[in-house]
Structure 1
């Protein structure tokens, strides 16, 4: 039998989540959590029960567990299950929901136990792997927020964000003048006296980017200017406020589709 394992991801800068990555053929008794939970099988299939309903959890399916929902999820094949389970603080989830629907005052339970959707399954799997990677914590936070804005939007009324132009323009002006900094959503929230999730919703509604993704684009655009003007890759990374060369290289390649070195060679003879 293949050796079993369990890995846990937590980070003090993301105190609202815990991610479990495990393989198991153990059978769990029915139980509940005080968190909102989302899980998938990367390998194998399970019998997933939630209150009085039972499902076969397979590829391209996400199990949805509301707080205090009595549930279990146990392997139903000879294959050793490999799965991810993410546990989220309901206050954090409620704030995400409120950024989507302003009428939300308490966490809104999701009305289904299963989401069968290949796109969401793939995005969730990518998110889980990204959290366990050595990527920077602001990038991880950005990916978590982006995924759950999309996820909760499936089940909530999307309200219009009022007074968006003035607030959005003020934040954009600030970011454009402070592109060298690595500004967190909490810092923006304090600076502009706005709910952090309101700011996220504002950006998504206006340009379909999170504030962090917008900042990275600003940095890359400035980096392109510097590389065109013969700056070294090291100096460009420093001047644009990247954590290090690796962080610069990774994000530049994602956005420009070539490496900083390849880009620079087009302008420096």
Structure 2
């Protein structure tokens, strides 16, 4: 499939807590290592996707379901000559917690999907049907009903509670200080020595520890933070030129390139879902 046959549609559903959705065919596009604040759940409709996740390389063939948990670093690229077509849902942690509450009558830790790729034709077809209903502007009742039912089945079949171990070492606390500093000063031109001083570590030790704990090197984490703020500014109607400067990129071309590598669509297309 030539590159010109790549197709991307990205939108939000306001009736479902501004749920983000993606329907795309990618051939040469490659996602940079990144994370999501919420979940990424989808079904492969054609071809195959490969992605690095949890220190392993995974392949999702046609018909398989993909699960990425919040805050976990992953990539994405074609695993087949003609690329891959998929439908993705990006539900917030709150949306899945609500599904759990409605399902069980109790709250629990946010669901954790243990397997990144599963083969479940029945549930995969249901994800596709739900996604199409959202894409084709079905009634509010149908969209809400399908989404809740689909999420409930996904949780019951594949999710588990995941109490994460808490680390309180000096090194861990130093990395958390660096992470907070990058979150608060994402638009600044920050040096490695600055971050090393904040963490009370050597520059090399900082790089190694930050990557181990966060999953990304500091510069990539800063770029991802910039992109997250850029998405919010696009929703407010700010121009791409102004956003590039505001969030700390050298120019619009650098901003556009990084945005597409992380989000999968150009910033102009992403902004159009808020301002058609």
* TM-score, normalised relative to structure 1: 0.54
Q: Secondary structure at the match of 1:106?
A: coil
Please tell me whether the aligned partners of residues 16 and 89 of structure 1 are also in contact (alpha carbons under 8 angstroms).
Answer: no
CA distance in 2, matches of 1:101, 1:53: 33
Report the count of equivalent residues.
Answer: 157
Q: Which moved more, 1:61-70 or 1:106-115?
A: 106-115
Residue in 2 that maps onto 1:4 = 6
CA–CA distance in structure 2, aligned partners of residues 14 and 79 of structure 1? 33
The answer to whether the Cα contact below 8 Å between 2:97 and 2:107 also exists between their aligned partners in 1 is yes
Q: 1:41 aligns with which of 41, 44, 49?
A: 44
Question: Are 2:61 and 1:52 aligned?
Answer: no
Distance 1:23 1:51 in 2: 25
Question: How far 1:101 moved relative to its partner?
Answer: 4.1
Cα distance 1:139–1:103, how it changes in 2: closer, same or farther (>3 A)? closer
Verify: 1:115 aligned to 2:118, yes or no.
yes
Cα contact 1:64–1:114 (8 A) shared by 2: yes
What are the equivalent positions in structure 2 for 1:165-244 lying under 5 Å apart?
none
- Does residue 73 (structure 1) correspond to residue 106 (structure 2)? The answer is no
> Cα RMSD (Å) of the superposition?
1.9
What corresponds to 1:143 in structure 2?
146
State which of 79, 90, 93 in structure 2 corresponds to 1:90: 93
TM-score calculated relative to the size of structure 2: 0.53
Mapped to 1, the partners of 2:12 and 2:36 lie a distance apart of 17
- Indicate how the Cα distance of structure 1 residues 156 and 66 shifts in structure 2: closer, same or farther if over 3 A, else same: closer
SS in 1 for 2:113: coil
Residue 37 of structure 1 deviates from its aligned partner by: 1.2
Q: Which has the higher contact order (CA 8 A, sep 6+)?
A: 2
The answer as to whether partners of 2:43 and 2:88 remain within 8 angstroms in 1 is: yes
Tell whether the 8 Å contact from 1:41 to 1:59 is kept in structure 2 after alignment: yes
- Kindly name which structure, 1 or 2, has the bigger radius of gyration based on alpha carbons: 1
* Consecutive unaligned residues in structure 1, runs of 5 or more: 158-269
Q: Deviations over 1:190-219 (max 9, x none)?
A: xxxxxxxxxxxxxxxxxxxxxxxxxxxxxx
